[in-house]
């Protein structure tokens, strides 16, 4: 699937659990022109790597808020499953204490639109069962940084066993906001507080004129 970077983030409306309450028709449009959004997908509720990620994003909420960034999580579980998992304490494998939205991609269309749905449907022209699925239809660990205009500026997709680094997500937000403020680009391993680079062809032109 072609990358979404540089394109408008796919729109959706879905049920979600926000700060422990079920919300109908949740949409990212609530943040448009106001906040940056980190939308991250995870495979399943009630698993092992997933709660470590959800708690890590929760622990960094103050960092995201200081960057005017909303965090939104999404999996193919139902909103009832999300709510139930939120009732389970952290020491028992639950995500109690998570306050940011947990979107219920029950019909799997959001994961498909963002290109992170594992497996695929196969049409069977023979009578009987017309469709079958290859693989488990859950979400890879996709992550998308969306700017205030609704444009995807960064995308990352990990395989199911590989957890993400929240510090790197914060670094990418810093880099985007630095570029937007100063117009300077960010070289490899750039971190907040370091100088950027002015994007120019002057150096290349000078080199070519002498050679």
Question: Residues with catalytic annotation?
Answer: 50
CB count in 10 Å sphere of residue 179: 15
22 near 79, Cβ under 8 Å? Answer: yes
CB count in 10 Å sphere of residue 55: 17
CA 168: distance to chain centroid? 13
Q: Which of 96, 103, 84 is nearest to 40 (CA)?
A: 103
Task: Please give the angle made by the CA atoms of 154, 158 and 163, to the nearest 5 degrees.
Answer: 105
Q: Which of 134, 171, 164 is nearest to 42 (CA)?
A: 164
Query: Residue 94 and residue 61: Cα distance in Å, rounded?
Result: 18
Query: Residue 41 and residue 102: Cα distance in Å, rounded?
Result: 10
Q: Name the one residue in this structure whose structure tokens are 């879905």.
A: 14
Query: Residue 138 and residue 117: Cα distance in Å, rounded?
Result: 6
23 near 17, Cβ under 8 Å? Answer: yes
């Amino acid at each position: 699937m072609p990358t979404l970077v540089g394109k408008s983030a796919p729109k959706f409306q879905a049920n979600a659990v926000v700060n422990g309450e079920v919300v109908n028709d949740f949409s990212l449009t609530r943040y448009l022109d106001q906040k940056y959004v980190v939308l991250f997908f995870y495979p399943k509720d009630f698993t092992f790597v997933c709660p470590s990620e959800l708690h890590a994003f929760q622990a960094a909420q103050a960092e995201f808020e200081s960057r005017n960034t909303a965090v939104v999580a999404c999996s193919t579980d139902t909103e009832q499953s999300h709510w139930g998992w939120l009732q389970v304490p952290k020491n028992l494998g639950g995500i109690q204490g998570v306050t940011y939205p947990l979107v219920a991609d029950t019909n799997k269309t959001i994961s498909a639109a963002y290109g992170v749905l594992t497996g695929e449907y196969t049409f069977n022209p023979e009578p009987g069962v017309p469709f079958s699925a290859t693989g488990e239809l859950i979400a890879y660990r996709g992550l998308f940084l969306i700017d205030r205009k609704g444009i995807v500026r960064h995308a990352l997709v990990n395989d199911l066993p590989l957890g993400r680094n929240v510090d790197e997500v914060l670094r990418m937000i810093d880099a985007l906001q630095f570029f937007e403020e100063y117009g300077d680009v960010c070289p490899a391993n750039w971190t907040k507080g370091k100088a950027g680079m002015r994007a120019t062809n002057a150096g290349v032109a000078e080199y070519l004129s002498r050679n």
